[in-house]
């Protein structure tokens, strides 16, 4: 897996992806956001936000591919929330090879636990990629809404598409193969 744009374009993102987890389109366990899906997502985001000096939060970070993509495109900092030790090691390895350790923080915690902690941080972009079949979407959304942010992106398998009808947000839905993105943009 490689970064698709920006300063680190074509550089490797380390991953512990097991293709055997993919069975007949039902994807369980860890599966990274594909290059094609990330390219589509960033084509949309490029028209919405200037990445320079943004603060980002990558929930269910996995390999950290989306967070590293944000840093590659100019984000000042990205917090990665991940509780799998193999994935944390991959994020650390990628950051070391890219030389961007000072631009990242890794939180080794369950995402819902992290979101329930009182925080005063503001994030320009929050990205969440829970496992497909995730059962706590409502709790995840309620918790994210307690954070200050400009853009929230939820990657999901489609069973949750269209579940958001929030008056304070512009909602964009994008589908790439089995991957769906719901993008919430705070209205001015």
**140 is a domain residue:** yes
Neighbour count for residue 126 (Cβ, 10 Å): 22
**pLDDT tens readout for residues 7-19:** 999 999 998 765 4
**12 is a domain residue:** no
Spell out a b/e string for 61-95, using b for 16 or more CB atoms within 10 Å of the CB, else e: bbbbbbbbbbbbbebebbbbbbeeeebbebbbebb
**136 is a domain residue:** yes
Q: What is the mean pLDDT of residues 110-118?
A: 91
- What is the rounded distance in angstroms from the CA atom of residue 148 to the CA atom of residue 129? 19
Count structural domains, the chain.
1
**151 is a domain residue:** yes
**121 is a domain residue:** yes
Residue 114's SS3 state is helix
Number of H helices, E strands in the chain: 5, 9
- What is the rounded distance in angstroms from the CA atom of residue 156 to the CA atom of residue 146? 21
**172 is a domain residue:** yes
- What is the rounded distance in angstroms from the CA atom of residue 87 to the CA atom of residue 31? 11
**6 is a domain residue:** no
Domain that holds residue 125: 19-186
Asked if pLDDT for residue 22 goes beyond 60, the answer is: no
Please work out, in degrees rounded to the nearest 5, the angle formed at the alpha carbon of residue 37 by the alpha carbons of 130 and 146.
Answer: 40
- What is the rounded distance in angstroms from the CA atom of residue 176 to the CA atom of residue 172? 13
- The continuous run of DSSP H or E covering 68 comes out as helix 65-72
Which percentage of the chain shows pLDDT scores above 70?
88
pLDDT for 29: 52
Most confident of 31-35, 51-55, 153-157: 51-55
**181 is a domain residue:** yes
The CATH number for 148's domain is: 3.40.50.150
Band (pLDDT 50/70/90 cuts) for residue 23 is: very low
């Amino acid at each position: 897996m490689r970064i698709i744009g920006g300063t680190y374009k074509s550089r490797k993102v380390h991953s512990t992806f097991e293709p055997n987890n993919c069975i007949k389109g039902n994807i369980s366990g860890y599966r990274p956001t594909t290059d094609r899906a990330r390219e589509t997502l960033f084509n949309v985001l490029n028209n919405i936000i200037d990445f320079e000096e943004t603060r980002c939060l990558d929930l269910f970070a996995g390999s950290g591919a989306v967070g590293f993509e944000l840093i590659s495109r100019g984000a000042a900092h990205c917090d990665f929330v991940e509780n799998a030790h193999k994935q944390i090691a991959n994020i650390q390895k990628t950051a070391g090879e890219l030389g961007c350790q000072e631009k990242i923080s890794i939180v080794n915690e369950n995402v819902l636990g992290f979101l329930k902690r009182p925080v005063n941080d503001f994030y320009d972009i929050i990205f969440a990629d829970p496992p497909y079949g995730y059962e706590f979407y409502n709790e995840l959304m309620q918790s994210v809404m307690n954070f200050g942010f400009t853009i929230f992106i939820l990657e999901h398998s489609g069973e949750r598409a269209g579940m958001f009808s929030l008056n304070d947000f512009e909602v964009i839905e994008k589908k790439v193969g089995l991957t769906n993105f719901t993008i919430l943009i705070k209205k001015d």
